[in-house]
Amino acid sequence: MPLQVIIVGAGIGGLSAAVALRRAGHRVQVFEKSQFASEVGAAVALTPNGTRVLDHLGFDWVRARADAMSTFEVVDGVTLAGLHRADTSDAVSRLGAPFWTIHRVDLHNELLRLALADQGNGECVLQLGSRVVSADPDRGSIILEDGSEHVADLVIGADGLRSVLRGVVLEQAESKPTPSGLSAFRFMIPTAELKDEPAFQDLLNVKGRGNSVFADTSHKTERHMVWYTCRNGTLQNFGGIHDSISNNNNEGYESLGVNIKDAMLSEFGHYHPSLVQLMQSSYYVRKQSKADRVTDWPLNYHDPLPTWVRGKMGLMGDAAHPMLPFGAQGSNQALEDAGALGELFRNVHSAELVPGRLALYDQVRRLRASRIQTLSRVRLGKELEVQDQLRRFADPTSGEVPTSFAERQTHDYGD
């Protein structure tokens, strides 16, 4: 008999787990608190460890309008001099899967299609507007805001950064996140709005096809601008890391009456004139465009959890391992979680086996994800700064942890 599975949260992690567990033959019910009323999110970079899982799940990259990423590079943001460039065009032969950049909404929509499509194996039902307020891991039950109770053989908490199920699994109130002292501007510009701008054409002569990091070498700061495309090159996606305006990250530019776009130009105004002009272009895109808005998000540290499982309940994605963007592993680690759940619960037809399989899930995923979560605190090339923390989560077989950019890539993207 197939297992009855409840997944709380229909984000990238929850939907990928729904696809994986459905393909394993189980009956999946996904509870999502929102109504999916509007398109949200920016683009994400998918690395081979994540794309291998999506390939296994039958993901359609053409339908999702993903952009192939053949370069990872670091460029001096002030002079545009190349600092480091890695060719990723051989990723399939070297790492078993390619790199892609993709709009988060397109990734989500394709996962939703796979979860709900009539494919003849397992089944999946999505229930929107269903906020979970409490749960019982031993009983395998959740209680919704309307008071209704739902019971399953397996409950997966994919309810994100502000997870309700995290506190249930840990049996305690979680500790507050630690401010990193950094925040991130995010904005997107339609390529059509830039194609006639000389500055944009000049930058395309410098930029490779993929993830470009424009670093600030003129100051001792983590400031940098990330730039890559999505939607078949029709959208330019940007993220600008900068020092937070307050030490506790409880304030934002809007709360202080400061225009976010002006603040971004102030932070990056010393960059190369072509890059500054590109950022200024975010002022002039069509008002009906969803790319018009620049946002600013605080970046916080979260310590790795001591366990991800309890009874019939397991955590995944941001509910289990929220991380900073350095290394671009947030979505990719959620995909790894989903892949592991799908394999561990394949051919499992008895509810009595669930706690044991969840224990294996914790064993194969938690230490690896904790290493990557710890590495996400530092930019590529600064792995030695977190060595003491990394060793707490070392691979029990080898005892090794990444100590360099090259080792980090092998560790994160490999099998």
Per-residue pLDDT band for 358 (boundaries 50, 70, 90) equals very high
Edge-to-edge strand ranges of the sheet holding 141-144: 132-136, 141-144, 149-151
CB-side neighbour CA atoms (13 Å) of 185: 30
Amino acid identity of residue 114, one-letter, is L
Mean pLDDT of 166-186: 86
- Residue 36: helix, strand or coil by DSSP? coil
Per-residue pLDDT band for 295 (boundaries 50, 70, 90) equals confident
Say which residue the tokens 């990238």 belong to.
Answer: 12
So where are the chain's domains?
4-35+128-176+302-413, 178-300
Say which residue the tokens 């189980």 belong to.
Answer: 26
d(CA 324, CA 330): 8
Candidate from 56-65, 219-228, 269-278, 361-370 with smallest mean pLDDT: 219-228
Nearest Cα residue to 78 out of 258, 188, 190, 206: 206
The pLDDT value given to residue 115: 95
Q: How many other CB atoms sit within 10 Å of the CB of residue 70?
A: 16
Per-residue pLDDT band for 177 (boundaries 50, 70, 90) equals confident
CATH second-level architecture of 4-35+128-176+302-413? Answer: 3-Layer(bba) Sandwich (3.50)
Question: Residue 368: which H helix or E strand, with range?
Answer: helix 354-375
pLDDT tens for each residue of 128-150 = 999 999 999 999 999 999 999 99
Per-residue pLDDT band for 284 (boundaries 50, 70, 90) equals very low
- Decide if pLDDT at 250 tops 50: no
Amino acid identity of residue 176, one-letter, is K
Q: What percent of the chain has pLDDT over 70?
A: 92
d(CA 368, CA 371): 5
The pLDDT value given to residue 252: 60
Q: How many residues does the chain have?
A: 415
Q: What is the dihedral of CA 389, 244, 319, 369, to 10 degrees?
A: -30
- Decide if pLDDT at 205 tops 70: yes
- Decide if pLDDT at 401 tops 70: yes
The pLDDT value given to residue 383: 86
Question: Residue 91: which H helix or E strand, with range?
Answer: helix 91-95
d(CA 34, CA 37): 8
d(CA 385, CA 223): 17
Per-residue pLDDT band for 190 (boundaries 50, 70, 90) equals very high
Say what the pTM is. Answer: 0.92
